Amino acid sequence: MQTSSSTIPIETTDFQPEWESKGNSGHFLEKGKIDLSHGEILYIEDLVVSFDGFKAIKGLTLDILSGELRCIIGPNGAGKTTMMDVITGKTGPRNAQVSGRVFLGQTIDLLKLKEPQIAQIGIGRKFQKPTVFENLKVWENLELARKSNKSWRVALTAKVNQDAIEDMEKTLLQIGLEKEAYIPAGELSHGQKQRLEIGMLLMQKPELLLLDEPAAGMTDEETMQLADLLNQLRGTCSIVVVEHDMEFVSALSGETGIVTVLAEGAVLAQGTMEHVKNDPAVIESYLGR
């Protein structure tokens, strides 16, 4: 890949998250490695979240295995967005009444961390509406998103190295945008922008990827392209997909994948897609048939 002389060169530099150096919120089992000794990358136990007396989450208990692709469905108001807000630090004890436990691996207490700290340790989140730099080329979006030291001192002197170029080429291939690498992101279709934003998250080497209704607004063809992408990513990192499109969820979960149904701030049902589709409580609360 050729790079433009107008781009800001970036070079990866190892860094230690500030929270870890202070030792007040948990620790890595080894430097830069999450403790997955029990198999779970995310563990939520008896989570209760209230806003001025309104309980958005009511005793939620949930665990996500390392490398798992988990789909979470449920009606509006089920607590899906609040759950993701808590995991990423947008909602926490500083702005809500929160009790329970939310751990990344066995040792990192997410309730004690702020949003930037949580992003540093490997949790990436994609919101429903794609957020890309529309005036920049597709590959430049990936370059800016790449996990690296972004301090101004480093940026002034660093250069794009071969590892960065290889990462971008690999990601462009994964998200199916290698032919669009040199066009402005603003010229992409909605579905392509969604895949680009996922690519930007992949450049950050996430351990856990949270996707909030990624298929919203897509054509049927774009939806299946996205399902193919996420299925290809299965096992490379843990992925949680919150979604309403049942065909999309079926394409991701297959015959054996676990689907979790939330309702009124707690788990209503959990199991294979076939199991939850035929659960009487799910039919009454969500599917409406």
Q: What is residue 159's predicted lDDT score, i.e. its pLDDT? A: 61
pTM for the whole thing? 0.84
User: Torsions phi, psi of 144, nearest 5?
Assistant: -65, -30
Q: What's the distance, CA 12 to chain centroid?
A: 22
CATH of 25-121+254-289, one of 3.30.420.240, 3.40.50.300, 1.10.1660.10, 3.30.70.360: 3.40.50.300
Q: What is residue 21's predicted lDDT score, i.e. its pLDDT? A: 45
pLDDT by 10s per residue, the chain, length 289? 544 433 323 333 343 444 454 455 555 545 567 889 899 999 999 999 999 989 999 999 999 999 999 999 999 899 999 999 999 999 999 999 999 999 999 999 999 999 999 988 999 999 888 889 999 999 999 999 886 554 544 444 556 677 888 999 999 999 999 999 999 999 999 999 999 999 999 999 999 999 999 999 899 999 999 999 999 999 999 999 999 899 999 999 999 999 999 999 999 999 999 999 999 999 888 776 5
Q: What is residue 33's predicted lDDT score, i.e. its pLDDT? A: 78
Q: What is residue 220's predicted lDDT score, i.e. its pLDDT? A: 93
User: Can you tell me the distance from the alpha carbon of 116 to that of 67, in angstroms, rounded to the nearest whole number?
Assistant: 23
Q: Which helix (H) or strand (E) holds 41?
A: strand 40-51
User: Torsions phi, psi of 94, nearest 5?
Assistant: -75, -20
**How many CB atoms sit inside 10 A of residue 17's CB?**
19
Q: What is residue 29's predicted lDDT score, i.e. its pLDDT? A: 46
Q: What is residue 2's predicted lDDT score, i.e. its pLDDT? A: 45
Q: Which helix (H) or strand (E) holds 56?
A: strand 54-65
Measured CA to CA in angstroms, residue 248 lies from 73, 76, 140, 172, 227 at distances of 11, 18, 30, 23, 7
Q: What is residue 289's predicted lDDT score, i.e. its pLDDT? A: 53
Listed by start position, the domains of the chain span: 25-121+254-289
**Are 233 and 239 in contact, with CB atoms under 8 Å apart?**
yes
Q: What is residue 190's predicted lDDT score, i.e. its pLDDT? A: 93
User: Can you tell me the distance from the alpha carbon of 87 to that of 96, in angstroms, rounded to the nearest whole number?
Assistant: 14
Closest CA to 212 of 116, 118, 71: 71
